[in-house]
Amino acid sequence: MEVKMKSLPPPHGGNLVDRVVRDPERGKKIAAGCSAVYDIKPTLYRDMPVRNVYREIMSICYGFFSPVEGSMTQAELESLLEKRRLLSGWIFPYPMLFDISEEDYKKLGVSEGDRLLLRLKGQPFAVLDIEEVYEISPGEVATRTFGTPEANPEVVKVPFDFKHPGFTIYSSFNPIILAGKYRIINEPKLRKPFDRFWFPPAKSREEFKKRGWTTVIAHQTRNVPHTGHEALLRNAAFIGDIKPCDGIVVNCIIGAKRIGDYPDEAIVEAHEMVNLAGYVNPKRHLVTMCLWDMRYGNPIESLLHGIIRQNMGISFHMFGRDHAALGPYYDMYAAQILWEKGIPSFGLEAPPYAVEYGLHMRPQNMAEFWYCPHCGEVTYSENCTHKGELQRYSGSFIRSLLAEGVFPPSVIMRREVYEVVVKWWKEFGYPFNNKKYLTEREKELEVDLPPMNIPKFK
């Protein structure tokens, strides 16, 4: 595989999407011309928030999901579900849809050609220029998005159900879809601690150039780091004949996650602590975030991660066992299968970088890092000969220690990282996501919006 890269890769689709109005007066004029107003609501499953479309709007308008510009038309949705491609031909994995209930649709009274004002936390936030209104079957969209053992035998092992968060999200969609382009007309301000990790693609590319980075590798995370993650960061950065990549970017997925995952505040600050405490050189390490409600889609999710990180200017991506997955649904190496040879049943006859209208970013597929008590160190699974003694990192085991207030051994987790977890434990009353945290979180969100007075919609 050819991996020589001496400059940042181009955005997916050729150009970065930027649909953010930064002039408040212009934003007010756009808002005043809207036909109706809609207050954004979280997607609920059994009264618990599992997704908020505002995060998709943010990530679309700031270019993370380039070349997508809004909520997909019915033809685009069908193209994506059938062959994982936009109508323009560019590969893309997930439906991006603005869904509302039939009751709300009737109240709004909007149709094709109307402009809808979207409010968030009581303030104008964005507009949606409606191109099409159509109806979906949420269960069908969910099933076709993630696949079935019959249709996708290369990687899908068992049928998806409501124990799977991503399947639950799409199954919980409202049936009416308003398709059209988004535009943020009242630029949000990221709340603490997220503000210092907000590097949307235009900003991240500027940061890389400022640091002199031309080769960058991404680490995807929804967890606080243990020492196995540190070993992955340091070792994966040695790519082919490039030794090592100039920069290592941790990109944390921030949004609704399953109960039992870590709070997002702890995730970003714990990864930051890895370089603040000197375990990874801060000159080569940058912690960032992307707003997205995890779908836990393994190979499908890895394709979105590749798009996000290429748009940020990242050259390479680490993919390990059970990438962005949970449960028995996918083969544990499904993401690596995608990036090594493709998944024809998902429309990819070859790896995502080897197909027309694919990605420029390259994968770094990794096996596992274990702790070897014989060697007394963390070792790559292919390097050590003491196979019978190797001890696998277990996220469940680490969380069980934390839940009991037990500091994990330093060979598993750094004291400084543990203290970050405890800090947010004290703040929220529990070290992991629970219903109270997720519910309160959807009231506060990750952003605040400046007041914008639009008399027409008071």
* Lowest mean pLDDT segment, chosen from 114-118, 171-175, 437-441: 437-441
Between 134 and 398, residue with greater pLDDT: 134
Please determine, for residue 320, whether its predicted confidence score (pLDDT) is greater than 90. no
Q: Which of 188, 184, 217, 305 is nearest to 253 (CA)?
A: 305
pTM above 0.75, yes or no: yes
H or E stretch including 400?
A: helix 395-403
pLDDT at 430: 84
Rounded Cα gap, residues 154 and 338, in angstroms? 10
Beta-bridge partner residues of 176: 100, 135
pLDDT at 2: 45
Beta-bridge partner residues of 211: none
Between 334 and 378, residue with greater pLDDT: 334
Answer whether the bond into residue 282 is a cis peptide, omega within 30°. Answer: no
Percent of residues in the chain assigned helix, strand, coil, to nearest 5: 35, 20, 45
145 to 3, 95, 171: CA distances (angstroms)? 31, 8, 10
Q: Where are the domains of the chain?
A: 24-189, 194-442
Identity of residue 112:
E
The length of the chain in residues reads 458
Kindly report the CATH class assigned to 194-442: alpha beta
For the segment 285-305, what is each residue's pLDDT rounded down to a tens digit?
999 999 999 999 999 999 999
- The average confidence (pLDDT) of the chain is 91
Question: Which residues contact residue 7 at a Cβ distance below 8 angstroms, ignoring those fewer than 6 apart?
Answer: 214
Q: Which of 17, 76, 97 is nearest to 295 (CA)?
A: 97
Q: What percent of the chain has pLDDT over 90?
A: 72
Please determine, for residue 414, whether its predicted confidence score (pLDDT) is greater than 80. yes
Report the SS3 class of residue 365.
strand
Q: What percent of the chain has pLDDT over 70?
A: 91
- The architecture (CATH level 2) of 24-189 comes to Roll (3.10)
